[in-house]
Chains A and B, each alone.
Chain A
Amino acid sequence: MSCRLAKSKSPEFVDNLPEAQTAKPMNRQRKGLFWTAIFVALFALSQDYLFVEWPQATTLLGFPLWLFWYFFVQILLVAAIWLFSKKFWQD
């Protein structure tokens, strides 16, 4: 099927969300909110100036302490996206 930019003005197809994502909409919506909250919380952890003042010193390997905080946040993010891809992001 050709998908070039045809001259017609009205859409031939307007796709809705895939079936898997429309099944049990309330339940899915709740789970969607849960995962949104998880990722917003992770992003909030990256705004560390709001809740902590880091000491001006070096620690392990000569890196500053706050750098380890960010290693931790990113590992949490990787774990979250992995779980998200298993539990919520469906085929």
Chain B
Amino acid sequence: MVYVILAAYIALVFASSLRGTRTIGRTPEGYFLANRNLTTLTLFFTILATNFSAYYFIGFAGEGYRRGYAFYVIMALGTALACLSFYLIGDPVWRLGQRHRYITPAELIHHQSGSRVFALLVALVMVAFTLPYLALQIVGAGYLLEVVTNGGIPYLAGAALLTCFTIAYVFIGGMTSVARTDLKQGILMFALMLIAAIIISSKLGGLPKANEAVFARLPELFAREGADGYYTPAKWFSWLVFWLFCIPMFPQIFMRFYIARTLDHLKRSAVLYAFAPLVLSLLPVIIGVLGHLSHPGLEGKAADEILPLMLVSHTPEWFAALIMTGALAAFMSTLDSQLLALSTITTRDFLPLFGWKPRALGEEVRMGKAWVVLFAIAGLLIAWHPFATIFDMGKMAFSGLAMLFPPVFFLLRVKPFPPLAGIGAIVAGEIGVVAFHYGWLPPSCCFGFEPFIVLLALELLICTFGWLRAQTWSRRNEV
């Protein structure tokens, strides 16, 4: 039954994503940006599905199990606050993209700052920190397929199978396929999660009764600071502001700001984006918290398995398989966008540095497709022997990308902004991220805040200093 559901799902998504993509995907703008023609609902779902990766299914329930309901606020309100980035970054990116037909983030940075080094540095950071995040999707997909099929499809074979499937529809249809698939996968994964939460809580006697039972055993899961007092005021502050800086700097999200048909579609997507996590983030966290009633005592990484465990315990086998298919949809909807974003950046920003120039219109698209395959292979190789745990890989990737926010924001919103300040800020921020990750800098020097907050503050200082200096110079020149 599990195999039938998986095969049916793959066939359905594949077939529907390819409808009408042949003519759209021939030009670079058509293949990479769906001709900048997405309307509110498709735009909203493609941003949401791209952003809610496998971590939504596996990580949210696991953290709900470990930390309790406090984790819900971090993800729901934190993600909702990121809707402000649709205005702070998305608005100027959309306007300038319409005017100058930019396709990659680096094209915009170069054109607006005049600095090729600044632009290439942004592109390099985007590729370097998205690659481990991309691999993380493949790792998750492999683990999940192994669990769903009871070991019938081993980890690496499952990871390779789903990666090949994702390559296929990205390869053929580009952004149009990705957006259409995201719309369907987004609706599917959230509808299935809602049904799962309803079934599981009703099997446990209804939500109020089940929550009361958990509260009687583990009241700390209902505490505002989370279990073990994890969310101290400094950590609470850090995590709530983090997503605002991080989400718009994912290259796959940044490039989605280009593709809204009109500014109105971008605005409406921002409002929907603020609202959606209010409900969506709660569902897996409820399942995680109620998991203590059926599977008490899970510790560490074992808690990440709480969602499949709860599904197997409380729902029929076919339904558990269906929900896990929703989780696979989450993996793929993030992976496809990352593959497309990285191939676009490589084809348009890096290859010309080595003397490559497309001789015909279709050649650039063909090269982009080749890089989709190469990045997928690179992701599979990382997934073969992951260099860190899923959480650590994710945290490092997110922190590295968030460091791009201050210089990009200053470039778009605060003028005059010298590129040197942007380059300095990025270099300082990224060195800091690596230093904290490998323990060369102790977390104790952050006064209880997460290291990325201290680094973002440092970058803001550098950018402000650069802006003030540039202002002084321009006034002197005027005189």
Contact = CB atoms under 8 A, between A and B. Distances in A.
A1 B100 contact: yes
A27 to B, nearest CB: 18
B411 to A, nearest CB: 10
Contacts of B275: 78
Indicate the size class of the contact surface on chain A.
35 or more
A58 B96 contact: no
Contacts of B349: 4-5
B270 A81 contact: yes
The B interface is mostly helix, strand or loop, or mixed, namely helix
Interface string A26-48: 00000000000001000100111
Contacts of A56: 219, 222-223
Contact of A89 (B96, B108, B223, B267): B267
12 contacts: A3-B100, A3-B101, A43-B240, A54-B224, A58-B212, A61-B208, A61-B211, A62-B212, A77-B83, A81-B270, A85-B87, A91-B264
A48 B327 CA distance: 33
A63 B83 contact: no
Given A11-B113, A70-B76, A89-B91, A4 B211 contact: no
A50 to B, nearest CB: 8
Contacts of A49: 224-225, 233, 236
Nearest to B79: A74
B192 interface: no
B72 interface: yes
Interface residues of B, number: 65
B237 interface: yes
Contact of A58 (B108, B215, B233): B215
B80 A4 contact: no
Contacts, number: 140
A89 B208 CA distance: 42
B224 A81 contact: no
A81 B271 contact: yes
Contact of B207 (A62, A73, A91): A62
Contact of B103 (A3, A11, A12): A3
Given A5-B349, A11-B111, A62-B211, A81 B83 contact: yes
B390 interface: no
Contact of B267 (A14, A39, A85): A85
Contact of A15 (B112, B211, B237, B267): B112
B87 A84 contact: yes
Contact of A5 (B77, B84, B207, B352): B352
B274 A81 contact: yes
The 5 A-B pairs of least Cβ separation, nearest first, read: A62-B211, A11-B114, A85-B267, A62-B208, A3-B107
A11 B107 contact: no
B81 A85 contact: no
Q: Name the residue among A5, A46, A64 with the largest chain B CB count within 10 angstroms.
A: A5
Interface string B206-247: 011111100100010011110000000100110011000000
Contact of B77 (A15, A16, A73): A73
A14 B114 contact: yes
Given A1-B100, A43-B81, A61-B208, A9 B112 contact: no
Contacts of B129: none
B261 interface: no
A39 B102 CA distance: 31
Given A61-B208, A78-B275, A5 B83 contact: no
Contacts of A63: 69, 211, 222
A86 to B, nearest CB: 8
Given A3-B100, A67-B69, A77 B271 contact: no
A18 B116 CA distance: 24
Contacts of A43: 81, 240-241
Contacts of A1: 100-101
A2 B215 CA distance: 61
B240 A46 contact: yes
B385 interface: no
Given A3-B101, A5-B352, A81-B274, 11 more contacts: A5-B348, A9-B116, A12-B111, A15-B92, A15-B99, A43-B241, A56-B223, A58-B211, A63-B69, A66-B224, A78-B80
Contacts of A73: 77
Contacts of B111: 3, 11-13
B120 interface: yes
A81 B108 CA distance: 26
Interface in B67-92: 69, 72-73, 76-77, 80-81, 83-84, 87, 91-92
Contact of A47 (B113, B209, B219, B236): B236
A25 B441 CA distance: 44
A6 interface: yes
Contacts of B84: 39, 81
B69 A71 contact: no
A63 B214 CA distance: 11
Contacts of A24: none
B415 interface: yes
Contacts of B77: 46, 70, 73-74, 77
